[in-house]
Chain A
Amino acid sequence: MSIVLDVQDIKTYFHTEYGLVKAADGISFQVNQGEIIGIVGESGCGKSVSILSVMQLIQTPGEIVDGKVMFDGQDLLRYTANGAEMRAIRGSKMTMIFQEPMTSLNPVLTICRQVTESLELHLDMDRQAARERSIELLKGVGVPDAERRVDDYPHQFSGGMRQRVMIAMALSCNPRIIFADEPTTAVDVTTQAQLLELMKDLVTRQNTSLVIVTHNLGVVARYAQRIYVMYAGRIIESGLSDDIFNHPRHPYTVGLLNSVPRLGERHGTRKLIPIYGLPPNLINMPPTCAFLARCTEKVEKCSKEPWPALRAVGDQHYISCYVDIKGK
């Protein structure tokens, strides 16, 4: 299996009036050809910032201060953010599906225009060809009556349908990798499952890689082969989906799993336990492990030593913790 994307030690900081927000503080992850991976973590832990950094879509006051994004043998961070090289990759080889289907489509342009513009730009299609291809794409993602609805405006589509349009747009130029930033948080549970199935189906068929960003570990575990768990701007555990889901080794991952219902689980068979406390303020980060204050497994070493680096605890399984829950 070949590596498509190798993100190395990305640091993205926001210069706010309250101080420096270290939204992504040394994020590394790899994505293999045709693989589905999950990036999981609480709201505000830096998931969106991390993947936006990969595509250099960070706006002021944010700044990517360090790191490498290896893609096709090139470090993308060497390219200027909106230069020709970066633009040629965005939307064609690397695409993104955003969190908010309600606001991520332009309200004053028809669906057709919004799908065709990538096709015209990256595949050099003319208007007519692009239009026909758009209709095919919309059919492919399950938009009923696509010939007619292609001329509709976003407000005439339901949230789920709009997200299907976003998926069609993301797939339109046969990308090597798709980032889906919480693609299903804004839709109901049934639609959520349908959309995830659809995405899985389509990427498998095209042998495209998919990065699903979500705060719901249970959902992503079903679809992803590997999972990265983030906390306060860092990755604190990573490994095969099955290992993370069934044998988590970091106290935060354990807490995360105990706090959300699992897919397919009968209601009430297991008591949900929330993680107490709040994630730390990203401006004044403690020198120690950032999860320390909320951790139920802490030992003396935790409050003396700095935040530990990731270490291998099994085949492809890494945690950044002095305590290994399983090994305890």
Chain B
Amino acid sequence: MTAYIIRRVIIGIIVLLLVTMLVFLLVRLLPGDPLMVYMGQFSVGGSGTTRITPEEYQFLYHQYGLDRSLPVQYIDWLGKIFHGDLGKSVTVGQDIGELIAERMPRTAYIGLITFVIGAVGGTFVGIICALRRGSWMDNTLTTLANIGMTIPVFWLGILLMYLLSYKLGWLPTHGWTHPLDNFGKHISQIIMPVLAMAVGSIAGLARLVRSCMLEVMRADYVRTAWAKGLQERVIVVRHQIKNAMIPVVTALGGAIGMILGGSVFIETVFGIPGMGRLMTTAIFDYDYQIVQAGVLLFGAIIIFSNLIVDIAWGWLDPRIRLA
């Protein structure tokens, strides 16, 4: 197992390096001037948001090291990131590291709740459907899951907001309150965002768990278990779930990416000052350094969760662990 984990970690690091290169190049290859990344909107000479002279331009160009070769710039940039220096935002005027430290916990918090609800709910629904396959409950839940999977997150968010806030007036439309400041208000504010994001995860997972369980139920080793005289409960818990979980774990890893992506929409719709909202604002403000840092962070999280998925795989399946 140790050798397997080490191998996975090394692969993870390599992928992470590739992501940093991509993020670096992404901004460099954007149309426009790289100086814009550090300065925000400006124009040389003529009229624009900020006007600078050609001399000033040359000076800044040199100061930001843009006259050096790309690899040198990349190494330099990577070194800074490694030391936690993500630069300073042009629009907000704040250190980006600090900004992320303030915003990310909120996104992580909502994401984690969504993930747990999605994982537990999806697995539960999937197993129930598989055990009662063909019943009206299975048919209803499977149909709902099929619908739930296809609904876009932001559309569901807006629909919920329309129904629960605008029409019924049960919940506030948007906002964020720290749970320790006012817990009731906090809960009322996160219900809709969590629900909007969890529906897709529950639906997708339920479908997958159901089909995996059905496949496993027909497996020869399950027939062997029946022939031993074991009870259905024991067969499901001991022989079926672990086998059925192997593909499901992969989907759980994917759900993290989906939730992070969804947070970009949801935090905007519900006015939650998290990482997703920060990124949307940054995109509209051409604040490239924040976008860069955000993409890098999300990328790192996804790589890390894939690493966890791989380790979970090895734990579940001896054929992988001992290979």
Q: Which residues of A contact B (CB under 8 A)?
A: 55, 57, 59, 82, 86-92, 95-96, 98, 100, 103-109, 117-118, 121-122, 153, 155-156, 166, 169
Contacts and interface: CB of A to CB of B under 8 A. Distances in A.
B229 A91 contact: yes
Contacts of B238: 109, 117
A117 B230 contact: yes
A106 B231 CA distance: 16
Contact of A105 (B221, B232, B242): B221
B80 interface: no
A122 B243 contact: no
B316 interface: yes
Nearest to B242: A108
A95 B224 CA distance: 10
23 contacts: A82-B226, A82-B232, A86-B229, A87-B229, A90-B226, A90-B228, A91-B230, A96-B224, A96-B227, A103-B221, A104-B223, A107-B221, A108-B318, A109-B239, A109-B242, A117-B228, A117-B230, A121-B230, A153-B319, A155-B318, A155-B322, A156-B322, A166-B224
Interface of B: 218-221, 223-232, 238-239, 242-243, 316-319, 322
A87 B219 CA distance: 19
Contacts of B243: 106-108
Contacts of A89: 229
Contacts of A117: 228, 230, 238
Contacts of B231: 82, 87
B230 to A, nearest CB: 7
B229 A90 contact: yes
Contacts of A103: 219-221
Contacts of B228: 90-91, 95, 117-118, 121, 169
Contacts of B224: 96, 98, 104-106, 166
Contacts, number: 77
A109 B240 CA distance: 11
A82 B229 CA distance: 8
Most buried by A among B221, B223, B239, B322: B221
Given A107-B243, A107-B319, A156-B322, A57 B225 contact: no
A104 B221 contact: yes
Contacts of A88: 229
Nearest to B318: A153
A53 to B, nearest CB: 13
A93 to B, nearest CB: 9
A121 B219 contact: no
Nearest to B246: A108
Contacts of A100: 220
Contacts of B226: 57, 82, 90
A177 to B, nearest CB: 13
Given A103-B219, A153-B319, 5 more contacts: A82-B232, A95-B227, A98-B220, A118-B228, A169-B228
Nearest to A153: B318
A281 B223 CA distance: 26
A164 to B, nearest CB: 15
A107 B318 contact: yes
Given A153-B318, A153-B319, A156-B322, A106 B221 contact: yes
Given A82-B232, A87-B230, A106 B318 contact: no
A43 B322 CA distance: 37
B227 A106 contact: no
B227 A91 contact: yes
B220 A108 contact: no
A92 B322 contact: no
Contact of A92 (B219, B229, B318): B229
A99 B28 CA distance: 62
A17 B218 CA distance: 19
Given A82-B232, A105-B221, A109-B238, A90 B227 contact: yes
Nearest to A90: B229
A109 B237 CA distance: 12
A155 B319 CA distance: 7
The winner among B218, B228, B316 for most chain A CB atoms within 10 A is B228
Nearest to B235: A82
Nearest to A92: B229
A88 B228 CA distance: 9
Contacts of B229: 86-92, 118, 121-122
Nearest to A156: B322
B236 to A, nearest CB: 12
Nearest to A110: B318
Contacts of A118: 228-229
B232 A106 contact: no
Given A91-B229, A95-B227, A106 B239 contact: yes
Contacts of A86: 229
A91 B322 CA distance: 30
Contacts of A122: 229
A153 B239 CA distance: 14
A57 B227 contact: yes
A196 B157 CA distance: 66
Given A82-B232, A121-B230, A98 B223 contact: yes
A55 B232 contact: no
Contact of B317 (A87, A90, A107): A107
Contacts of A57: 223, 226-227
A215 to B, nearest CB: 19
